[in-house]
Structure formats: structure tokens, C-alpha cells
Structure 1
Amino acid sequence: MAANSMTGFARAAGASGAWRWAFELKSVNAKGLDLRLKMPPPFDRVEAEARARLGKALARGTCFATLTVQREGSASAPRIDEAALAALAAAARAAAERAGLAPPTMDGLIAVRGVVEVAEAEDDEPAVAAACAGALASLDEALTALTSARRTEGEALTRVMRERLDAIEALTLAADANPARKAEAIRARLAESVAALMEQGRGFDENRLHQEAILLATKADIREELDRLKTHVAAARALLEEGGAIGRRLDFLAQEFSREASTLSAKANDVSLTAQGLELRAQIEQFREQAQNIE
């Protein structure tokens, strides 16, 4: 099973009778699954079913599902409120007589708000039901295209993350084999430090210095960090091989990678090890950025 990206776009259109519609789906990164639907009436009656279908197909990400609808050949039907018109006409004539003005005209009266109402033609229930079913079919079509797009991008992200894992592994092995980690090199650096201290004055306790040197050598040992980095690389590769909704686990591993690399850099007692630690952190950051796009 391949890993999926959380980003994608798809569109599907359809028609039934006088109804024309288009379903657009857009998904972006998110910590969880967030479905945001926008469906005009009378299609809002199937919002619950649309939400259920989206939730079944997607595991993570914010998905914007927008349905746009157009009804053709359904002219609005104007209706005159004759009672309101009659009352308005009587009042207008009386006022015009008192003021010595011309009597009101029909076009002036019907322009008054509330006299003329424009009512939409009543919906044909069987036609609406058929259109709603067709809109759900278009949703399924768009959802198939969206999951395909997310899978394609997920495959590309997987390739990039595998390259980053290869680089992380290579740097880990290079740090492990770094000559600065050999006992002879560590002993020589400690000897130089001890010699420098001895030259600065008298009265140093050589036994205490020996104990301090052992303690410093222990603190500078990065064996555990290297072993954990190797383990994390193997775990990340296994997750990428597993596929599916692995984004959260990859993000957790990326944090563990970063923690070990930071400790390694802090313990590094040689310029070459420090440089390897910095490059390791850069590769891990690139891995983390890609992992945050995975579902």
C-alpha cells in the first residue's frame, strides 16, 4: 500500500433534468481530518451522506467540498399582492388629491416594495431527488480522482523521503567511522588538555584529573545516539513500505531523529563530527518537512 499525500484537487460535473452541478474537492495539510462542505438548497439534504463518504475515503487533512448548482429553464413567477396594491392605491390617490398632484400610476405603485413578489417555481420532488443522487455520484467521481492525485503525490514524496533516509544513514555511518571517535584520538585530546592544565600551575591531583578525563570521555561518547539513529532509519523505511495513513508516525520518528542528532552535535568534541552532526540535522529537517505532507 502506498503512502498518500494530504494535498490534492478534483472536480466532477453532472446534470439531471433542469439541474446542472459541479462538485469541487480541495484538500490541504492538517493534523486531523477536517471536512468543510458547502452545498446549496435543496441539495443540502444529502450533506450528511456526502460527509460520510468523504470521511470513509480520507483519513487526514482539511477537505473543502463545494457544490455549485444551476437550474435551467425555471423562470421566476412574479405575484402581485392585490390587497396591498389596492390599499396603497387608495392611500396614494387621497394624498394626491389633498396635495393637488396627479394621481398615482401603476408602474409607480408596483415599484413599491412588497407589492410585487417574485417566487421561484416550485421544486419537482422526484426531479430534485434524482438530481441529488446524481450529485452524490459526481462526488464519488471527484473523490476517486482526489484520492488518485493524493496517491500520486504520496508516491513522489515517498521517493524523496527514502533519499533523505539514505543520506541520514550514510551520515550516521560516517560519524560512526569518524577517526575522531577512535580511542587513540580521544586519548590524545584528553592528554593534551591535561598537559595544558598541568602547565598552568602546581598542586593538581593527578588521580582526580584521571577521573575527570574518564567522565569527559564518557560524556563525549555518541554510541547510543548512533545506534538509535540506525534504529529510527529502519523503522521509517518499514513505515514507508507499509504505506497507508502513516503520517503521524513518520512525524513522530522525525522528532526522534532530530533529538538524537541534536544530542550528537552537542556531544561532538571534534570539528569533523560537528560538521557531520549539522549536515545530519539538515537532512532530518528535510525529511520532517516531507513527512508533514503525508496522510
Structure 2
Amino acid sequence: MTGFAGVEKSSEAGNLSLTVKSVNHRSLDMHFHLPNELEGLENGLRELVKRHAARGHFQVKIVFTPAAAGIGTLNRPLLESYLKAFREAAAQYGLGGDPDLNRLLLAPGMLAGERSPDAGQAMADLVFGAMQEALEALNAFREREGAALAAEMKSRAVKILNATSRMHALRDAALEAFAKRLRERLAELLAGVALDPQRLAQEAAILADRSDIAEELTRLKVHASEVIAMLEAGGEVGKKLDFLLQEMARELNTILSKSSALGEAGLDLTSLALDLRADVEKIREQVQNLE
């Protein structure tokens, strides 16, 4: 499921801004955008994500601003090397003037600030604390989204379950009408031919039975009930639901195939089966967002 969470933290170590984004993905995939000084924490952050999510594509971005250090101490050897280089260049090329001390003091490494021996651990604690907070907020968001999604899927599954009763009634009426039409048509075609009326009725019944959907409706009802039960139970049900929905789609395709053979008598069945198949496909799309 999709989600977003952002956390900002401050401590003696510095200021931190952390964001976590997640989108749907069949497996667990992670990408980190970390400043150089925090790259050593990536493995630990990955393990933290694994404890909070089973699948999804996660993007983690951290911006860290270290706390300003004191003036520090002058790096005299470095300063002397700069001055020596200046003098040598001035003598060699006949240049005059004096070096600008203000510029020299801004050179990288010229002023070495004192760093607390615990600064590294303080920074790590700040990052992991922010990550934990962000993942908890993200999961709360995903759970709310998942609950709303499950409720919608359950509503569609209940619709399918209730529709099986109407389809049974339509099936009974359609088969009766189809068998009657077969008997009448056979009687017309075989007019003047000596046939046992009972045998004629049996043949018509056999043909009508080939279009019977009673077994498919029974399996469809069972599958719909299982889908509802899984959604109510919760947990990691995505793969199981997808399998059941494939079976439901297969039953509805068979129903459509058989109902089309019933001619006009099966039009209502065909229309209802098409509507239910659209519901099954919609649920299958939504299942991809569940874990």
C-alpha cells in the first residue's frame, strides 16, 4: 500500500529531516538517499524497515545538518605549508603582496573543531529514533488505507454471495424455459415421425442439463464466503485471496459460456454474471494493494 511519513529531529548532534515513502510492490524493495556521514547506518535502517513491512517499494531520504562546532584549534602545519607555497610562488614569479589571513582560515581543515567521542553514537541514535517514528506513522497510515480497502472488497464479495441466490432462481427458470423450447422445436422438426414422447422429453432434458450451472454456483458461493471470512480475519491474506478470486473468475466464465447456450432464456443470467465478473476483477486489482 502507499504511504508517506516525515519526521524532523534536533539534538546536540545536529538537525535531521527524514522522509519515508512507500508504494505497492510484490516484494520488499528499498532505496536510501543518505548524506555521506550517515552511509554507514544504511544496513541498520534496512533491518528496521524489514521489521515493519513484508512488501512494498520504500524510498528513504535523510537530510542531516551537524551541530555547529566551536572555533577549534588552528592547524599550524597546514597554515605554514600554505604560507610557504605563497612565498615560493611570489619569489618565482616576482609577485608582491601578503597572503590574506582571513581567506587562509577558511581553507578546509584549517580550523579543526573538537568532536565529542560520543557524537557518532548520538547521531546514530537520532537517526534510528526518527526512522522508528516514521515507520510507525507510515504503518498507521497504511493500516487505515488497508481497512478502507478491505471494507470495499468485502462489500463486493457480499454482493457476489447474495447474487448466487438470484442466479439459482434464474437458472431454474432458464432451464425450464430452455427445455420447453427444445421439446417444441424437436416436435416441429420431427413432425410425422413416430417417437416416444417420454424419450423426446428425456433428450430435451439431457441437452438442457449440459447448460446447467448448479455446480458452478455452489463453488462460487463457497469461494465468496471464504473471501469474506479472510477479509474479516485480516492478516497477510493477499496471495490466498488472489487464488480464490482466480477460481471465482473461472466459475463465472463457465457460467457465461453455459448461459449463452440457453439463448433468450439465459439473457438475465448472462447479464448478472458479467456484472459479477467485473466485481471479481475489481477485487483482484484491490488485492494487489494488500499484504
The yes-or-no answer on 1:290 pairing with 2:290 is: no
Partner of 1:178: helix, strand, or coil?
Answer: helix
The yes-or-no answer on 1:39 pairing with 2:39 is: no
2-structure distance, mates of 1:196, 1:86: 121
Deviating more after overlay: 149-158 vs 249-258: 249-258
- 1:73-103 per-residue CA deviation (whole Å, 9 max, x = no partner) reads 2499996653654555455x17xxxxxxxx4
- Offset at 1:13? 1.7
Give runs of aligned pairs for residues 4-19 of structure 1, distance below 5 A. 6-19=1-14
2-structure distance, mates of 1:106, 1:291: 74
Give runs of aligned pairs for residues 71-82 of structure 1, distance below 5 A. 71-74=66-69, 82=82
The yes-or-no answer on 1:219 pairing with 2:215 is: no
Give runs of aligned pairs for residues 132-171 of structure 1, distance below 5 A. 132-171=124-163
Partner residue in 2 for 1:279: 275
1-structure distance, mates of 2:108, 2:184: 96
- 1:252-275 per-residue CA deviation (whole Å, 9 max, x = no partner) reads 222222221122111112111110
- 1:119-170 per-residue CA deviation (whole Å, 9 max, x = no partner) reads 4966644212111112101111111111111111111111111110111112
The yes-or-no answer on 1:236 pairing with 2:245 is: no
Q: Do the aligned residues in 1 keep the contact of 2:27 with 2:55 (CA within 8 Å)?
A: yes
1-structure distance, mates of 2:112, 2:250: 66
Amino acid at match of 1:153: E
Amino acid at match of 2:12: G
Q: Do the aligned residues in 2 keep the contact of 1:265 with 1:278 (CA within 8 Å)?
A: yes
Q: Do the aligned residues in 1 keep the contact of 2:86 with 2:99 (CA within 8 Å)?
A: no
1-structure distance, mates of 2:239, 2:97: 72
Partner residue in 2 for 1:259: 250
Partner residue in 2 for 1:185: 177
The yes-or-no answer on 1:51 pairing with 2:41 is: no
1-structure distance, mates of 2:278, 2:98: 79
Q: Do the aligned residues in 2 keep the contact of 1:10 with 1:145 (CA within 8 Å)?
A: yes
- Offset at 1:189? 3.0
- 1:13-47 per-residue CA deviation (whole Å, 9 max, x = no partner) reads 21221411122111111112222222223222222
Partner of 2:51: helix, strand, or coil?
Answer: helix
Partner of 1:30: helix, strand, or coil?
Answer: coil
1:214 and 1:124, CA in 2 relative to 1: closer, same or farther beyond 3 A?
farther
Runs of 4+ in 1 over 4 A off after TM superposition: 74-81, 83-91, 103-108, 119-125, 179-183, 195-199, 206-215
Q: Do the aligned residues in 2 keep the contact of 1:15 with 1:131 (CA within 8 Å)?
A: no
2-structure distance, mates of 1:264, 1:149: 40
Partner of 1:59: helix, strand, or coil?
Answer: coil
Partner residue in 2 for 1:246: 237
Q: Which has the higher contact order (CA 8 A, sep 6+)?
A: 1
Partner residue in 2 for 1:66: 61
- Offset at 1:246? 1.4
2-structure distance, mates of 1:35, 1:150: 17
Aligned residues: 272
Partner of 2:250: helix, strand, or coil?
Answer: helix
- 1:188-209 per-residue CA deviation (whole Å, 9 max, x = no partner) reads 132245356558xx9xxx9999
Partner of 1:21: helix, strand, or coil?
Answer: strand
Partner of 2:228: helix, strand, or coil?
Answer: helix
Unaligned runs of 5+ in 2: none
Amino acid at match of 1:231: V
TM-score, normalized by length of structure 2? Answer: 0.79
Alpha-carbon RMSD across the aligned residues, in angstroms, is 3.6
Amino acid at match of 1:292: Q
Partner of 1:220: helix, strand, or coil?
Answer: coil
TM-score, normalized by length of structure 1? Answer: 0.78
Amino acid at match of 2:155: E
Q: Do the aligned residues in 2 keep the contact of 1:261 with 1:281 (CA within 8 Å)?
A: yes
